[in-house]
């Protein structure tokens, strides 16, 4: 059993994510949009080609400082000047800005998919595929430095599942009456994180939050009541964590000062994409990482060393070319991994061993080996977790 | 005068210019060296002389055979060794007809499918030549009918509106091989050797036993003569089965009809393709094709004027070979060498003739026949070493750039046509002109290899593409330089048709079936230059079209999307409609001005 110990919230403050519903927030965002449009009209009247300046959304435009705790945007910007080659995206951006303004003023929400269908009324200017509309949406979000929810756009994605020693304080969707949700009483199911988590409150005395990658493992933990034995909260990300999921974990961990331990597959994707995004955010949405990061998270496993320590060698798969490329890319280009020698050692070890390992690999020693042996052994030494 | 029948020597024949009327093949030396030799004889005296020579050669052969027999011939006893006498008993003259009966592939009658094409081709080429020579716009009907009761037998009839043939010449023209007007002169024409049409008749006779039927009329107030002719293959002489005057509704022209074993088909290397390509290279001709499957075709006339008439020229000394030179010296009417050189050859002035004699150390007043016997080789070498003007080139009648384009336009729907007629050039003393034309785009298939149409003296070449200098040149040109795709060792690909026409007083075919042009370096060089010019022009066309398309795309992009910027801004800022229109107009102006800028 792990001793309960309070964890300090990160030094950086939990940036206030304005509720898109608040009148002040709404007015400010609309002001942004109008200002941008005004500037364009001015340029047009002067006979200049209008242009929009976007921050570059990629890993080489972010920096990482552990004291800050998340990927910060560097100043690099790209200019989209109106020309015949950009006129289509330009028109689409302007029309989506207009749609966002309407959303905010009408207090309406619009999913990414709905936005895509909404564009079908724009004639020639419509999006052919949803990825096109998602990209323009990300651009606008970055242009104004806001979260898409502030523009009235909500993701379709599921936020993640929660079970364990946690009481969630929510409001009834219609009446607005306070509501208490007991995450110990979800039976064989779980409570789903909604796309907006700003208004939620928490009651818990759990010792830690265990965040797992796959829902298969999550189900095993729930089925055997692991959270009860370990006195913890279990959250399933189901792949790369959504913004809501990251925000939820961050708020819960900050507010209740409990540690966050992450348990993913032992492969470059689990380290580089899932864990890193949860902890410090992504390059693509760097302008909002400060809202969507969990700097206090640490990495439980599966580490390459675990393969040796827990005799999993014959339960591994060889690394494919894409894995190796991803691993080398992380070492070379990811500011997060470049900071931590522990991570570099781990990734190099994996490349050297040439294998990856899944969370389920522990079934080699028996289905509940992961609950009865692996997790307790690891949790006895959280100081050994990777940063 | 013993001559091997191969293209090199065929050139020599032409250059000799004084060939006899009858051609006789003889197996002289053939038994010894495994080669076939053909002998041409003219006069009675010559024939006697030849006989004497033959006897001499036989004696020599006998001596040699004996010597060989004494040396090593007796190693293996059975089968019993031939003696010179027993061999001599078997040696006899072969007529040219017999020779070609056994070697029909040499004339393009390799298989039933090709036989049909070759038969039609020979007749149509003759008709076109006859019409062109008498300044008549050709009107030709090709009819192929299946013979009832047979699957592989067809009747072929070709009718023209040409000058007609005088009565006494009809049997010889159709019933005798190597008889004709074109062999003995250097003049650009389709036919060359006088083998074609009689060979077609002979093939028909060989496979069906039926005679050729010819009707011809030389004018409105002349009767039409009808003949049925067999060829006596042993003697190479016509055998007249029927000779009568017949009423004929045609005022002037010739119609030849014969039956042959053949296979009818359409598509590549078929009669269709031959006629279509003939129409491309002869836009002044009208051709009607009545096919056995009922799908008739008509190739209308695309040009109003008959092509200009090529002139006949004398051989140029650079292209002549020693044997032919000797023949000229023996048969010239001039009394001295100097006169012979300057009168029987082109581009040899009396001064240069004297220079040649000087160089050869020959008395300019010497008798030609004596020189032929003793000093011909010295003279021959001196000719090659003396600088002479190139042969005259006004003897050639290329199709012309305009007519080439007209021909392509008639048969292929494309977006772009161009044609290049090169200046005349010379190979082995023979003047020639190369023309190339190219069609691009339109309805031509875009994802296939480009088609290459080859022509020699306006005749389409459908076989032996791979060994033809035209094909070789097409492959050697780097088409990628002209924005046309090309894989290694392949012709260019894309929606294009390439036409190359080789016109000369003597076309250096690689074989008697006249299917491929030999690769003389001068010829390949000229073809490539013509193709490269076509390539440059198509490249200009393609880049212009690309630019236009791009311009259009930009323009449509702007008119398509600019209004949406206006709508969006208006939705955000809520200004009146008039302001929106103003913004759209202003934006359009800005973009039009800066179009093609960076980004």
Query: What angle (nearest 5°) sits at the alpha carbon of residue B491, between those of residues B487 and B493?
Result: 70
In contact, B201 and B107? CB cutoff 8 Å: no
Helices (H), chain A: 23-46, 87-105, 112-118, 130-144, 215-223, 226-230, 243-256, 268, 276-280, 304-309, 321-333, 335-339, 341-353, 369, 375-379
- Quote the mean pLDDT of chain A: 87
In-domain check, residue B419: yes
B31 vs B308, higher pLDDT: B308
Whether A310 maps to a domain, the answer reads yes
pLDDT of residue B282 exceeding 80, the answer is yes
Q: Let me know whether A33 and A49 are in one domain.
A: yes
Task: Point out the catalytic residue in the list A117, A299, A340, A369.
Answer: A117
Indicate whether B92 belongs to any domain. Answer: yes
Angstrom distance (rounded) from CA B525 to CA B532: 11
DSSP state of B27: -
For B565-575, how does the pLDDT look when each residue is reduced to its tens digit (9 = 90+)? Answer: 999 999 999 88
Domain boundary among B265, B299, B333: B299
**pLDDT above 70 (res B158):** yes
B325: domain CATH number? 1.10.8.50
Q: A366-383: string of b/e by CB count within 10 Å (b at 16+)? A: eeeebbbebbeebbeeee
Min Cα separation A32/chain B (Å): 11
User: Angle of helix B521-573 relative to helix A23-46, nearest 10 degrees?
Assistant: 130
Sheet containing strand B37-41, strands side by side: B2-4, B37-41, B22-26, B94-95
Please state, in angstroms and rounded to a whole number, the distance separating the CA atoms of residues B196 and A53.
80
The one-character DSSP state at B313 is B
Distance (Å) of CA B393 to CA B12, B246, B403, B522: 19, 44, 20, 15
Question: Mean pLDDT across the stretch A58-62?
Answer: 83
A94/A139 same-domain check: yes
pLDDT number for residue A287: 81
Task: Say whether B561 and A41 touch across the interface (CB within 8 A).
Answer: no
**For B558, nearest residue in chain A (alpha carbons):** A84
- Cis omega (within 30 of 0) for bond into A155: no
The reply to whether A299 and A357 lie within a common domain is: yes
Task: Specify whether B241 is located in the same domain as B160.
Answer: yes
**Interchain CB contact of A83 with B (< 8 Å):** yes
Say if the Cβ atoms of A83 and B561 lie within 8 Å: no
**3-class DSSP assignment, residue A214:** coil
Q: Are residues A150 and A218 in the same domain?
A: no
Domain of residue A102, CATH code = 1.10.10.10
- The residues, ordered by sequence, that sit 6+ positions from B439 with a Cβ below 8 Å of its Cβ are B408, B409, B412, B414, B416, B417, B496, B497
Per residue in B170-193, pLDDT tens?
988 888 776 766 666 677 778 766
pLDDT in tens, B222-242: 999 999 999 888 888 889 999
pLDDT score of B322 more than 90: no
User: Is the confidence at residue B287, as pLDDT, over 90?
Assistant: yes
Of the CA atoms within 13 Å of residue B94, those in its CB half-sphere come to 21
The answer to whether residues B505 and B414 belong to one domain is yes
pLDDT at residue B97 above 80?
Answer: no
Q: Is residue B309 part of a domain?
A: no
Torsion of CA B132, B136, B137, B138, to 10 degrees: -70
Question: Residues B27-55: what's their mean pLDDT?
Answer: 49
- The pairing of beta strand A62-64 with beta strand B2-4: unpaired
Taking CB atoms and an 8 Å limit, are A38 and B573 in contact across chains?
yes
What pLDDT score was predicted for residue B96? 72
Same domain assignment for residues B535 and B555 = no
Using CA coordinates, name the residue in chain A closest to B587.
A44
Decide: helix, strand or coil at residue B91. Answer: coil
Model confidence at B11: pLDDT above 50: no
pLDDT digit string, tens, across residues B519-551: 999 899 999 999 999 999 999 999 999 888 888
Hunting for tokens 């095993």 — which residue is that? A220
Convert the pLDDT of each residue in A80-133 to its tens digit: 888 877 888 889 999 999 999 998 888 888 888 899 998 999 888 899 998 899
Q: Does the distance separating the beta carbons of A34 and B573 come in below 8 Å? A: yes
A269 is catalytic: no
Comparing A135-144, B341-350, B366-375, the range with the smallest average pLDDT is B366-375
Taking the alpha carbons of A101, A104, A108, A110 in that order, is the dihedral positive or negative? positive
The verdict on residue A322 lying in a domain is yes
A39 with A183, same domain?
no
Domain assignment present for residue A198? The answer is: yes
In this structure, are strands A153-154 and B416-421 parallel, antiparallel, or unpaired? unpaired
Same domain, B96 and B153: no
Q: Flag if B568 and A97 touch (Cβ within 8 Å).
A: yes
Do A177 and A145 share a structural domain?
no
A4 assigned to some structural domain: no
State yes or no: pLDDT of B198 exceeds 90. no
Q: Tell me whether residue A8 is in a domain.
A: no
Whether the per-residue pLDDT at A199 is higher than 60: the answer is yes
Same domain, residue pair A167 and A148: no
CATH at B494:
3.30.230.10
Looking at the fold, whether A131 and A239 belong to one and the same domain comes out as: no
Nearest to A229 by CA among A361, A362, A379: A379
Q: Answer yes or no: is pLDDT of A53 > 80.
A: yes
Judge whether A2 lies within some domain: no
Residue range(s) defining the domain that contains residue A270 = 161-384
pLDDT band at B51 (very low <50, low <70, confident <90, very high): low
**Domain annotation covers residue A16:** no
Query: What letter does residue B443 receive in the DSSP assignment?
Result: T
Same domain, yes or no, for A115 and A178?
A: no
B45, B85: one domain? yes
B310 found inside a domain: no
- How close, in Å, is residue B504 to chain A by CA atoms? 55
ipTM of the prediction: 0.74
| A268 pLDDT more than 90 | yes
CA neighbours within 13 Å on the CB side: how many for A130? 9
Looking at the structure, tell me whether residues B420 and B534 fall in a common domain. yes
Asked whether the predicted pLDDT for residue A338 surpasses 80, the reply is yes
Name the domain boundary from A133, A154, A175. A154
The neighbouring-strand residues paired with B234 are none
Is B579 within a domain?
yes
In this structure, is residue B304 part of a structural domain?
Answer: no
- Mean pLDDT is lowest, of A69-78, A304-313, B255-264, for A69-78
> Residue B18: what pLDDT?
35
Q: What is the DSSP string of A90-141?
A: HHHHHHHHHHHHHHHHTT--EEHHHHHHHGGGGGGGS-SSHHHHHHHHHHHH
Average pLDDT over residues B30-56: 51
Predicted pLDDT at B133: 86
pLDDT score, position B338: 86
DSSP string, A21-77: TSHHHHHHHHHHHHHHHHHHHHHHHHTPPPEEEEE--SGGGEEE-TTT-SEEE-S-E
Residue A106 touches chain B, beta carbons under 8 Å = no
| CATH number of the domain to which B122 belongs | 3.30.565.10
pLDDT category at B37 given cuts 50, 70, 90 is very low
CB spacing of B573 vs A83 below 8 angstroms: no
pLDDT at A9 (0 to 100): 57
Mean pLDDT of A239-243: 88
Is B439 inside a domain boundary?
yes
Q: Are residues B138 and B96 in the same domain?
A: no
Q: Which of A86, A87, A94 sits opposite B568 (nearest CB)?
A: A94
- Tell which phi-psi region holds residue B193, choosing left (phi > 0), alpha (psi between -120 and 50) or beta: alpha
Section A358-375 average pLDDT:
92
Return the pLDDT at B363. 84
Which of B565, B568, B599 lies nearest to residue A83, judging by beta carbons? B599
Number of domains making up chain B: 5
Same domain, B233 and B370: no
% helix, strand, coil for chain B, step of 5? 45, 20, 35
Q: Give yes or no: residues B327 and B206 share one domain.
A: no
Bond before B596 cis per omega within 30 degrees: no
Q: Are residues A350 and A227 in the same domain?
A: yes
Does residue A299 have a pLDDT over 60?
yes
CATH label of the domain that carries residue A246: 3.40.1360.10
pLDDT above 50: residue B268: yes
Query: Which one of A154, A178, A194 terminates a domain?
Result: A154
Domain boundary among B496, B512, B541: B541
pLDDT category, B33, cuts 50, 70, 90? very low
Q: Which residue segment(s) compose the domain that B291 sits in? A: 105-299
User: Same domain, yes or no, for B95 and B127?
Assistant: no
Domain identity same for B521 and B579: no
Determine which of B553, B557, B559, B564 to mutate to test the interface with A (most A C-beta atoms within 10 Å): B564
CB proximity B590 to A under 8 Å: yes
Percentage, residues of chain B above pLDDT 70: 84
Spatial separation of the C-alpha atoms in residues B478 and B499, rounded to whole Å: 17
Write out pLDDT tens, residues B424-435: 888 887 889 999
Distance to chain B for A88, nearest Cα, Å: 6
Query: Which pair of structure tokens corresponds to residue A76?
Result: 């690099």
Is B394 contained in some domain? no
B279 and B325 inside one domain: no
Is B303 within 8 Å of B408 (Cβ atoms)?
Answer: no
Q: Where is the domain boundary, A154, A183, A198? A: A154
Residues B569, A122: C-beta atoms closer than 8 Å: no
Q: Answer whether residue B380 shows pLDDT above 70.
A: yes
Q: Count up the domains in chain A and report the number.
A: 2
Most confident residue range from A54-63, A146-155, B62-71, B487-496 = B487-496
Which residues 531-560 of B have a C-beta within 8 angstroms of A? Answer: 554, 557-558, 560
Q: What pLDDT shows up at residue B193?
A: 61
Q: Say yes or no: A83 and A209 in one domain.
A: no
Q: Are B429 and B318 in contact (CB under 8 A)?
A: yes
Q: Look at A83 and B591 and tell me if their CB atoms are within 8 Å.
A: yes
Among B523, B541, B559, give the residue marking a domain's end: B541
CA A370 to chain centre: 26
Domain shared by A315 and A219, yes or no: yes
């Amino acid at each position: 059993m792990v001793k309960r110990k309070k964890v300090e919230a990160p030094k950086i403050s939990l940036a206030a994510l304005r509720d898109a519903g608040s009148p002040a927030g709404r007015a400010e965002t609309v002001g942004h949009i109008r200002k941008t449009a005004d500037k364009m009209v001015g340029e047009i009247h002067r006979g200049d080609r209008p242009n929009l300046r976007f921050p570059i959304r990629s890993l080489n435009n972010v920096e990482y400082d552990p004291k800050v705790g998340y990927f910060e945007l560097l100043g690099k910007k790209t200019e989209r000047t109106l020309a015949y080659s950009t006129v289509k995206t330009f028109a689409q951006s302007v029309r989506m800005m207009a749609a966002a303004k309407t959303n905010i003023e009408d207090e309406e929400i619009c999913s990414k998919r709905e936005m895509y269908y909404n564009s079908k009324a724009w004639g020639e200017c419509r999006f052919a595929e949803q990825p096109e509309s998602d990209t323009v949406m990300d651009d606008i979000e970055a242009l104004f430095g806001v979260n898409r929810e502030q523009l009235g756009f909500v993701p379709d994605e599921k936020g993640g599942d929660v079970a364990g020693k946690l009481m969630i304080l929510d409001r009834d969707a219609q009446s607005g009456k306070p509501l208490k949700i007991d995450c110990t009483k979800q039976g064989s199911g779980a409570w789903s994180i909604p796309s907006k988590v700003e208004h939620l409150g928490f009651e818990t005395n759990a010792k830690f939050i265990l965040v797992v990658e796959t829902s298969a493992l999550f189900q095993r933990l729930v089925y055997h009541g692991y959270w009860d034995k370990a006195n913890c909260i279990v959250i399933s990300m189901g792949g790369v964590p959504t913004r809501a999921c990251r925000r939820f974990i961050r708020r819960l961990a900050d507010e209740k000062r409990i540690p966050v331990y992450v348990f993913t597959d032992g492969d470059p994707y689990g380290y580089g994409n899932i864990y890193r995004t949860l902890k410090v955010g992504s390059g693509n949405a760097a302008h909002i990482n400060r809202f969507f990061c969990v700097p206090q998270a640490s990495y439980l496993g599966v580490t390459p060393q675990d393969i040796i320590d827990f005799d999993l060698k014959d339960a591994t798969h060889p690394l494919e070319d894409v894995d190796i490329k991803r691993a080398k890319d992380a070492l070379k280009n990811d500011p997060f991994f470049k900071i931590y020698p522990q991570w570099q050692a781990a990734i190099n070890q994996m490349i050297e061993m040439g294998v990856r390992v899944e969370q389920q690999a522990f079934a080699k020693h028996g289905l509940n080996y992961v609950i009865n042996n692996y997790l307790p052994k690891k949790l006895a030494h959280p100081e050994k977790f990777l940063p | 005068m013993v001559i091997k029948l191969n293209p090199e020597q065929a050139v020599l024949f032409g250059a000799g210019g004084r060939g006899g009327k009858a051609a006789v093949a003889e197996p002289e030396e053939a038994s010894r060296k495994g080669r076939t030799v053909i002998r041409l004889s003219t006069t009675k005296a010559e024939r006697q002389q030849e006989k004497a020579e033959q006897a001499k050669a036989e004696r020599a052969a006998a001596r040699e055979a004996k010597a060989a027999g004494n040396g090593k011939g007796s190693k293996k006893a059975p089968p019993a060794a031939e003696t010179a006498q027993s061999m001599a008993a078997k040696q006899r003259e072969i007529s040219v007809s017999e020779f070609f009966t056994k070697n029909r592939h040499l004339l393009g009658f390799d298989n039933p499918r090709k036989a049909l094409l070759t038969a039609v081709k020979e007749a149509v080429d003759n008709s076109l030549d006859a019409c062109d020579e008498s300044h008549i716009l050709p009107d030709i009907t090709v009819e192929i009918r299946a013979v009832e009761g047979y699957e592989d037998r067809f009747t072929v009839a070709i009718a023209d509106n040409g000058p007609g043939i005088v009565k006494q010449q009809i049997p010889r023209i159709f019933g005798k091989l190597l008889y004709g007007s074109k062999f003995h002169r250097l003049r650009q024409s389709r036919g060359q050797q006088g083998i074609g049409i009689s060979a077609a008749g002979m093939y028909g006779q060989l496979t069906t036993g039926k005679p050729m039927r010819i009707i011809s009329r030389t004018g409105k107030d002349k009767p039409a003569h009808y003949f049925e002719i067999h060829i006596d293959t042993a003697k190479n002489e016509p055998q007249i089965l029927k000779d009568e005057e017949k009423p004929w509704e045609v005022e002037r022209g010739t119609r030849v009809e014969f039956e042959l074993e053949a296979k009818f088909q359409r598509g590549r290397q078929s009669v269709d393709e031959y006629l279509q390509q003939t129409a491309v290279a002869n836009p002044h001709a009208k051709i009607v094709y009545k096919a056995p499957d009922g799908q008739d075709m008509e190739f209308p006339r695309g040009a109003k004027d008959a092509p200009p008439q090529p002139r006949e020229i004398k051989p140029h000394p650079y292209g002549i070979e020693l044997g032919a030179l000797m023949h000229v010296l023996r048969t010239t009417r001039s009394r001295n060498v100097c006169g012979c050189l300057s009168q029987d050859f082109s581009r040899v002035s009396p001064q240069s003739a004297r220079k040649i004699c000087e160089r050869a150390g020959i008395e300019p007043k010497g008798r030609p026949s004596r020189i032929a016997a003793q000093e011909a080789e010295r003279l021959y070498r001196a000719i090659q070493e003396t600088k002479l003007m190139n042969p005259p080139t006004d003897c050639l009648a290329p199709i012309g750039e305009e007519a080439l384009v007209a021909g392509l336009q008639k048969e292929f729907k494309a977006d772009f046509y161009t044609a290049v007629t090169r200046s005349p050039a010379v190979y082995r003393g023979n003047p020639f002109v190369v023309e190339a034309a190219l069609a691009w785009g339109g309805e031509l298939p875009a994802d296939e290899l480009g088609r290459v149409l080859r022509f020699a003296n306006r005749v389409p070449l459908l076989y032996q593409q791979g060994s033809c200098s035209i094909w070789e040149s097409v492959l050697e040109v780097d088409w990628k330089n002209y924005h046309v795709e090309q894989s290694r060792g392949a012709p260019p690909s894309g929606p294009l048709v390439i036409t190359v026409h080789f016109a000369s007083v003597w076309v250096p075919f690689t074989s008697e079936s006249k299917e491929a042009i030999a690769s003389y370096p001068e010829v390949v060089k000229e073809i490539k230059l013509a193709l490269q010019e076509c390539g440059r022009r198509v490249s200009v066309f393609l880049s212009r079209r690309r630019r236009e398309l791009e311009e259009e795309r930009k323009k449509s992009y702007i008119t398509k999307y600019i209004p949406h910027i206006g709508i969006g801004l208006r939705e955000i800022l809520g200004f009146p409609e008039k302001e929106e229109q103003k913004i759209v107009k202003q934006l359009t102006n800005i973009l039009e001005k800066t179009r093609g800028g960076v980004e």
